[in-house]
Amino acid sequence: MRLSRYFLPVLKETPAEAQIVSHRYMLRAGMIKQASAGIYSWLPLGFKVLKKIENIVHEEQQRAGHIPMLMPTLQSADLWRESGRYDGYGEEMLRMKDRHGRDMLYSPTAEEMFTDVFRSYVKSYKDLPLTLYQIQWKFRDEIRPRFGVMRGREFFMKDGYNFDLTKEDALHAYNRHLVSYLRTYERMGLQAIPMRADSGPIGGDYTHEFLVLADTGESEVFYDSKVTDISLGKRDIDFDDVAQCQAVMDEFTSLYARTDETHVEAEFNEVPEDRRRVARGIEVGQIFYFGTTYSDKMGATVVNDQGDHVPVHMGSHGIGVSRLLGAIIEASHDDKGIIWPEGVTPFHCGIINLRQGDDAADAACESLYSALIAAGLEPLYDDRNERAGGKFATMDLIGLPWRITVGPRGLKNGVVELTSRKTGESVEMPPEQAAAKVVEIYASL
């Protein structure tokens, strides 16, 4: 993309309403614009990152064998009356009547809809296991929306639902989700620690939240520092292998890691003192096995191999897709702006032309731009007739991980500059080598 033809409305001023750094930078970098309280328009740069995150979530869910589909945002109140949640949900559920006076609502989650789809079609244990999911807009009418996309009212969420014959099978689905979530976050450059969570009114021991450590997190977290040494890395996981998924679960959840909701001081004190950490975290996902709660209420049964009708064991598993943009920025920025991890960056590499209109500089930039595109990457070429200082400030603010700077003086010596946004380090090299280096970095992800 040539910046002269893009729509990137960066702001010089820090918007007064933004209390946390991710919100400030998303506004300043022209990623979002508030439309109403807790409701945002996704400007082109923000939309691009949102799609990248959505794609990673899709890829990792499908790798785990989960099947994508899509529920409508507006749902009839009837299904929610069956589960008892229509009256129970409270004011966070946005309700409305259609022109015929029928009660509707904007889906805040979708246990009922998925359970209904399941019971409409699946009759036999032979069709299990089954995990269906969607990535769809949801609405929760937060009384006090804040922190930009981190606690908005209209938000983009992945929600998945497993349907299994037995508790044992459902716990394998639970573990499979944990593994797929770990992969998902790692691909985004995030360390998200699974922490024992509170299962709320439904109860049960099987729920974990995934927390990204950040000073601005809404949750207080308590953990054994050894938990931050673990990562999934490039392990080849067979998602059908029950023992293998269980081993990952055990490895990631046996050390102490709790939010304030489940924290037990006495247990925490068993962690060696030098490894005890108290910090803040941002919740970016949750997995939850809840058994037959919904299948009982809504009659989601299958016939088992004995010919009996039995309710299916279910769980629901969510990732806050739009919230992740905020979480990533909270975890990766400096005082100049965002520092995108390579897995989610909106453009792979910036190209700055220090002297637009200079024949050699223009030609070198065009050639770099074409080379990167030919290699399947998306460069952002700042071809505007602006001062170099302004171009650098914009590039730093929007946070592309790599930048190639092209100027007449360097070109006389046959070199351009390749700069890492993260370290700030610059290395001079011939243009072809800079392009090759960037291609190599992304190929290795």
Which residues contact its own copies by CB under 8 A? 5-7, 9, 30, 33, 35-36, 39-44, 46-48, 50, 65, 67-76, 91-92, 94-96, 98-99, 102, 104, 106, 113, 117, 120-122, 130, 132, 137, 139, 141, 143, 153-154
Quick one: 2 or 276, whose CB is closer to its own copies?
2
Quick one: 145 or 281, whose CB is closer to its own copies?
145
> Which residues lie below 8 Å from residue 370, measured CB to CB, with a gap of 6+?
none
Q: How far is the CB of 35 from its own copies (least distance, A)?
A: 5
Q: How far is the CB of 154 from its own copies (least distance, A)?
A: 5
Q: How far is CA 152 from CA 15, 40, 74, 141, in A?
A: 17, 8, 18, 9
DSSP 123: -
Quick one: 40 or 290, whose CB is closer to its own copies?
40
Amino acid making up residue 367:
S
C-alpha count within 13 angstroms, C-beta hemisphere, residue 423: 6
Quick one: 353 or 405, whose CB is closer to its own copies?
353
Q: Which two tokens stand for residue 336?
A: 């100049």
Q: How far is the CB of 201 from its own copies (least distance, A)?
A: 21
Quick one: 114 or 210, whose CB is closer to its own copies?
114
Distance (Å, whole) CA 113 – CA 90? 19
Quick one: 141 or 261, whose CB is closer to its own copies?
141
Q: How far is the CB of 67 from its own copies (least distance, A)?
A: 5
3-state secondary structure at position 241: coil
Strands (E) in 245-275, as ranges, are 257-259
Reference 309, options 168, 83, 123, 126; nearest CA is 123
Sign of CA dihedral 200, 202, 203, 207: negative
> Which residues lie below 8 Å from residue 389, measured CB to CB, with a gap of 6+?
none
Q: How far is the CB of 258 from its own copies (least distance, A)?
A: 32
Q: How far is the CB of 322 from its own copies (least distance, A)?
A: 10
Q: Which two tokens stand for residue 374?
A: 């030919």
